[in-house]
Amino acid sequence: MELCTILQPECTTCATPGSKKKVLELISNLVAAQYPPLSSQEVFESLLAREKMGSTGIGNGIAIPHGRLTTIDHPIAIFIKCEEAIAFDAIDKQPVDLLFALLVPADQCQQHLGTLSSMAQKLSDKQILKQLRKTHDATELYQVITE
């Protein structure tokens, strides 16, 4: 699945959330603003439920929070660059500054494991990471991540 089909420019941002909880709330608010039938609370609870099973901080300053929703019929992605890295309980104990969040329909989880895997692979490319971290605004961030 092409990233630009699930990640809208409006769901890409640079921010300074300050904490893991705040960045999950930011993701939830961005989703709710772009997809009005969804409530930010519903999205937040889905992301939090997954984090309680284990951190989605995969190391190297990257986290891939994700959740399942019964109220959507297509995947929704969010990409955030934190201006200041935040503690995220990542596997390497390092703070996180790049987050790719994915919300998927509850009945289609298997189909979207490939999306998570391909994003993790893309974010393991040192050149892409360098470009992402050099971006100055959401437009530039979106262009780099969807190339």
- Which residue has 């995947």 as its token pair? 75
Instruction: Give one word for 60, left, alpha or beta, with left for phi > 0 and alpha for psi -120 to 50.
Output: left
Whether 136 is catalytic: no
Can you give the length of the chain in residues? 147
Catalytic residue of the set 66, 74, 112, 136: 66
Nearest to 71 by CA among 31, 101, 38: 38
How is residue 28 written in tokens? 């939830």
CA atoms within a 13 Å half-sphere pointing along the CA-CB vector of 85: 16
Catalytic residues, by residue number, are 66
